[in-house]
Chains A and B, each alone.
Chain A
Amino acid sequence: MLIDRFVDGKAHNYTRQSLSQITKPRSARIVSRGRTPSPNHPMQTYPTLRSSLSLYLLVLPTLFLLAIFSFVPVMMAFYNSFYEYEVGGERTWVGFQNYIDYLTADPTAMVSFVNMALLTLMAIVIRLTIPLVVAKLIHTLPNERHRYLYRLAFLIPTVVPVVAVQLIWGSLILGETGLINTLLENLGYEDLAHGWLSDPNTALIALACIGFPWITGFEVLIYYAGLSNIPESVHEAAQLDSATGIKKFLLIDVPLVLSQIKLIFMLVLINGIQGFELIFILTQGGPGFETYVPGLWMYENAFSFQKMGYASSIGVILFVVIFMLTLLNMKYFKSAEDMQGQ
């Protein structure tokens, strides 16, 4: 073990401390291997700046790209939100006026936040339940081949571009001559058939129903991973306590896949608040302002009305909402995991 320290050619980097670690009993070094880098590592002992220059150079491309496409835009977003200006026009410092205008005087703010909340809530309820139940159903199958085939089948739609799926739902299923209306006509409910996305009363609910039966292969796989990690002994113990069926699922499986539930919850929540692609493609916020969401209004302000400052302030507000909910969620779910005794 000692020899390779010196064939490594970096021996000059070792301080007295690291040499003493090398000569420590091996068991002691194994114990110290954990989340921190193992102490017998060559670069462990804070080399001088000169010897770590190559390391800085190696992470430089990463940092450079992040600076241009993340850090600078973040700063610009905050900075611009305090100005009123149009593309190519003059900048005027307006302080918090953009925020105040949006939150108090913008006629779209209320309806779009309500829409966002409803769509997000519905998405969360759906995607925390249906893929989990499907994953559980697959997981209980005794035949490994069947389990694989079902996972594969639910994954197939992933190959269709998301935009194509959205356009297909808009025309083939919810359109005037779409599947829903054809079914209704054949069943004798002609009067119910109409353009689901163009009727103000049904546009929002139609958007929420897109993707039925909402069995996303990706989410099924993540829940399935969680279910697979539950030790068999837990189920055997539950069997002894004569827990069966739904009760066992709710009391044993659900708490033990909580970290997967947390992951999906966060993804759906963040996407629900910032996502406006589906609405942009299918309704453009219409009819009227029925299906507007804040993200779409930000897009319109920036790229249709050229009100960059105002758009930036909407972006910042959405960021703050996401940030607060993320913090709340981390706090809440941590306590839930503590309760499991992890």
Chain B
Amino acid sequence: MRRTPYLQHSLLLIGVVLTLVPFYFVISNAVRSNNEIFRSPFGFPQALTNMVSFTTLSLTGRASEISYVVRISVDDEIVFETRRDGYKAAMRAQWKIMTNGYIYAWEVLRGYMLNSLLVSLTSAVGVLLLGSISAYVFARYRFPGSNILFYVIISVMMIPGILTLVPSVQLVTALDLRNSYTVLILPYIATGQVFAIFVLRSFFRGLSEDLFDAARIDGAGHFHLYRHVVLPLSLPSLSVIAVMNILATWNGFMWPFIVNSDQKYHVIASGLFNMTTGPIADNYSAMFSAYVLASIPLLLLFVYATRPFIQGLSTGAFKA
């Protein structure tokens, strides 16, 4: 019987707490009013405390004693004051305080979120499609120049983004592509597919030849082999590539920030940065709500994809 490794657990727990502390304050501040945040950015949400005490009162049969004064102040000057009596009305007032930031943030963020979703999903699909087709061709067929072409494609991994940033912007300006979805999606597919080709080609090569022979005996053509033999077998690799691409696109900041001047085409990353210089910047509650809202799509992705992702990476699906 091994003893419980208390030392490891305590060190790891300290690590977890330190890692997550900033995000706790973001989530908590998102449901606090601006006045509360202004007084102290690190308190517990007053509205939640109120809700707990109202519920306690109502459960102990003292609901009639509940009354709550709604004060809205601007620059420490109360501009609006009203009374909410009774459990339901008081609770509604608390709920309103908690969701206030989210409502403001959603107004601004909605467009950015939809753009990010569109750009991330489309470019992930594009990367998977182009990447897997090219990887399949380079893995299973040889034709004049196939090796040279493959190394030309792989050499793109040696090109740092800093070298191509300025000329790429000039190029898309010359092609009149700025302020469009095309300019957001195509570059991500172009650069994202290279890593996919690199990983998938070696994976496709490792597939047993007997599988292909068996399928050919059944009369499978090239497309059939790709669609019904290769793709199903490489689903774990494909999903890790998809998740990594979505992550990269979702976090991409510089490119969308530079090539778009129209608010309509900004994505989450550039949109959040624009919010800090926009009129919403002083609305701390809304800013923190925006951070929370911006994290929800990836959170949903991770709920579904974490297990294969962790297992895929932990077993060394990608080695150097």
Measured CB to CB, the residues of A under 8 A from B are 1, 3-4, 7-8, 33, 35, 37-38, 40-41, 43-44, 46-47, 49, 52, 55-56, 58-59, 61-63, 65-66, 68-70, 72-74, 76-77, 80, 134, 137-138, 140-142, 146, 148, 150-165, 167-169, 172-173, 177-179, 182, 212-213, 215, 218, 221-222, 224-226, 228-229, 259-260, 262-263, 266, 270, 273-274, 277, 280-281, 295, 298-299, 302-303, 308, 311-312, 315-316, 318-319, 322-323, 326
Contacts and interface: CB of A to CB of B under 8 A. Distances in A.
B156 interface: yes
Contacts of A73: 163-164, 167-168, 171
A80 B168 CA distance: 12
Interface stretch (B18-26, B52-60, B61-69): B18-26
In the A-B complex, the 3 residue pairs with the smallest Cβ-Cβ separation, listed nearest first, are A52-B143, A76-B167, A263-B320
A163 B273 CA distance: 7
14 contacts: A35-B205, A37-B142, A138-B8, A141-B9, A153-B19, A155-B310, A156-B23, A161-B269, A163-B251, A259-B320, A308-B170, A316-B163, A319-B160, A319-B163
B272 interface: yes
B133 A58 contact: yes
A161 B138 contact: no
A253 B19 CA distance: 25
B11 interface: yes
B171 A326 contact: no
Contacts of A148: 310
A46 B19 contact: no
B292 to A, nearest CB: 9
Contact of A46 (B20, B143, B186, B216): B143
A218 B248 CA distance: 13
Interface string B281-320: 0000001001100110011011000100010011111111
Nearest to B149: A59
B158 A213 contact: no
A274 B160 contact: yes
B contacts with A: majority SS: helix
A263 B157 CA distance: 13
B71 to A, nearest CB: 22
B209 A154 contact: no
A153 B320 contact: no
B140 A66 contact: no
A43 B143 contact: yes
B193 A65 contact: yes
